[in-house]
Structure 1
Amino acid sequence: MRNGQISGRSRAATAGRRAGVALATVGLVAPVSLFVLGGEAQAATSCTKTAGPYQRQLESYLKLKVDGKQSAADCRAIQKFQVKYKINPHIGYAGPVTWAKVQQLKAAANPNAAGKCPTNKGRIACVDLKRQLMWVQNGKKVIYSPVKIRSGRKGYVTRTGLKRIYWRHKDHWSTLYNVAMPYSQFFDGGEAFHGVSIPISTPPGSHGCVNMTNSDAKRLWGVLKQNDYVYIWGKRPGT
């Protein structure tokens, strides 16, 4: 073969490689598109047509037409909110995880607006089972901002009332359920604040403990002390 020339065999091999690349490229096309939101590329999954259990509440919060029916505009607005706050899957479904984030945002400024948690006990951990939120206040001053929690499931509801932190164990292991309970702070028998590795929204709920993300439980460990008060009220939806 002379210099600068390609044999028929080499041309065929080159063509084959090009065809392979083309086929591979076609095969890699995912059923999603990409869009830019907040300067970051996000995977845009298709919108759900199903109305979630918190459809009306999210329509109201996002200033949409409140009719409890899922529309394309509703889905896009809910999806945008989900992407912003890293809620997955972000398909525009008005479910409990998305509504819990709204509750957390609404409570951030004044979580005790309804006056349910005592303000005359000094430092106190406040647990609102209905909103699935907890925070810590000292008098009227919030010293630990509201975070999402997971309380007891049906049949194992978290007990309500005024309590006190009576024992703390940073690296606790439950021999009953054979699971780690990091940053445990016990307030009522076997019920405690503690971290979990699973998502907080994982159903159906705890066995009575107040579950938190590990990072939130670690921060709470540095805020509460033994003998601090805990006040729990309300009822978790579905229990």
Structure 2
Amino acid sequence: MWRSVAAATTVAALVAVSGCTVQAVGTPAEEVPPVRISPVPEASPDDAKPAKPAKPSKRPAPEVPPKVLWSKGDKGRDVRELQARLRQIAWLFEGPTGTYGASTVTAVKGFQGKRGLPKTGKTDSVTWRRLLNMTREPGKWELYASGGQPAAKPDPRCLTGRVLCVSKTSRTLRWMVDGRTVSTMDVRFGSQYTPTREGVFNVYFKSRHHVSTLYDTPMPYALFFSGGQAVHYSSDFAATGYNGASHGCVNVRDEGKIAALFSQVRNGDKVVVYW
């Protein structure tokens, strides 16, 4: 009996050490509740921390090129002013013509290069601002030093009949028929020592290949209206512009226009020379 109790005690001790549960024979086992592990709830999107905003880029914004105001091929009064200002500081020696041509491109490039600007030959806002600061506003005669001025308003005496309407103010000639302008052309006049007469005259003689007997110079397409004074083509006017003057005649520099005029004008047509 003692041995049985001792054996049972030894087995119980061993079971206690091993952690196992032994059910005695004929004795109901004590129920042990199972260990339950609660599931970890999934994180909700709402629980996530808001993302940090991206840091702005530190790269500088690309430089915007200055606006181009005028470039090769442009025409008009603004181009004339550009050319007149370039002439004031000796970057351009011809014109103004009112047309942005090769010589104007070259002049603008030179002006830009001298001042450390990109040598594009195009007049942009930066180039124009620099030019304005170095020059003065050109006068009317500077703008039209090479001609091209709009024809002046016709004198009232030009509004009837067939008339060569010559304005000394705008340095232009209108060929008018019954108040309608047929053609216009640049003209120049005599100097202060040999002035072109003003008033109302009539064409009294036409000479296609005339040569002056007084000055021994050609006067092609001559339309005489007062003594030895005539409207005629001048190669000197075509070559030198308003740097020269006539001996009293009305010089025309466009040979094509004066040739057409010569073929249309008749003896007896009126000539009006006025300021």
Task: Identify the TM-score tier after normalising by the shorter chain.
Answer: 0.5 to 0.7
Gaps of at least 5 residues in structure 1 are 1-35, 40-57, 235-239
Percent sequence identity is 24
Residues 1-54 of structure 1: per-residue CA shift (max 9 Å, x gap): xxxxxxxxxxxxxxxxxxxxxxxxxxxxxxxxxxx7239xxxxxxxxxxxxxxx
Structure with more contact order per residue of length (Cα contacts < 8 Å, sep ≥ 6): 1
Structure-2 separation of matches of 1:86 and 1:177 = 37
Are 1:224 and 2:268 counterparts? no
* CA distance, structure 2, for counterparts of residue 80 and residue 134 of structure 1: 20
Alpha-carbon separation, structure 2, partners of 1:80 and 1:154: 24
Contact 1:87–1:98 (Cα < 8 Å) also in 2: no
Cα RMSD, aligned residues only? 4.1
Structure 1 residues 86 and 37, CA, compared in 2 at 3 Å: closer, same or farther?
Answer: closer
What is the alpha-carbon distance in structure 1 between the residues aligned to residue 101 and residue 223 of structure 2?
A: 29
Q: Please tell me whether residue 124 in structure 1 is matched to residue 163 in structure 2.
A: yes
Aligned to 1:37: 72
Distance of aligned partners of 1:117 and 1:134 in 2 relative to their CA distance in 1, 3 Å threshold:
farther
Aligned pairs, how many?
Answer: 168
Q: Paired residue for 1:215? A: 256
Residue 174 (structure 2) aligned to one of 135, 139, 144: 135
Show the counterpart of 2:236.
198
The partner residue of 1:99 within 132, 139, 144 is: 144
Q: Distance in 2 between matches of 1:99 and 1:87?
A: 19
Higher share of residues assigned helix: 2
Aligned-residue offset at 1:82: 3.7
Q: Distance in 2 between matches of 1:206 and 1:154?
A: 10
- For 1:74-125, what per-residue CA distance to the aligned partner results, in whole angstroms no more than 9, with x for missing partners? 999xx99747276978858958474156753x33xxx43xx42424530100
Which structure has more strand as a fraction of its residues?
A: 1
Aligned residue among 184, 192, 202 for 2:222: 184
**8 A contact 1:128–1:233 mirrored in 2:** yes
Please list every run of 5 or more consecutive structure 2 residues that lacks an aligned counterpart in the other structure: 1-70, 109-134
Give the Å deviation of 1:216: 2.5
- Cα 1:85–1:124 change in 2 (3 A) is farther
Q: Is the 8 A contact 1:195 1:215 kept in 2?
A: no
Report if aligned partners of 2:201, 2:272 keep a CA contact under 8 Å in 1.
Answer: yes
Paired position in structure 2 for 1:27: none
CA distance in 2, matches of 1:142, 1:122: 11
Q: TM-score w.r.t. structure 1 length?
A: 0.57
TM-score with structure 2 setting the length: 0.50
- Tell me whether 94-103 or 225-234 shows the greater mean CA deviation: 94-103
Shift of 1:64: 11
* Structure of larger gyration radius: 2
Matches of 2:174 and 2:100, distance apart in 1: 20
Residue pairs, 1:61-76, within 5 angstroms = 61-62=77-78, 70=85
- The question of whether the paired residues in 1 share the 8 Å contact of 2:232 and 2:252 is answered with yes
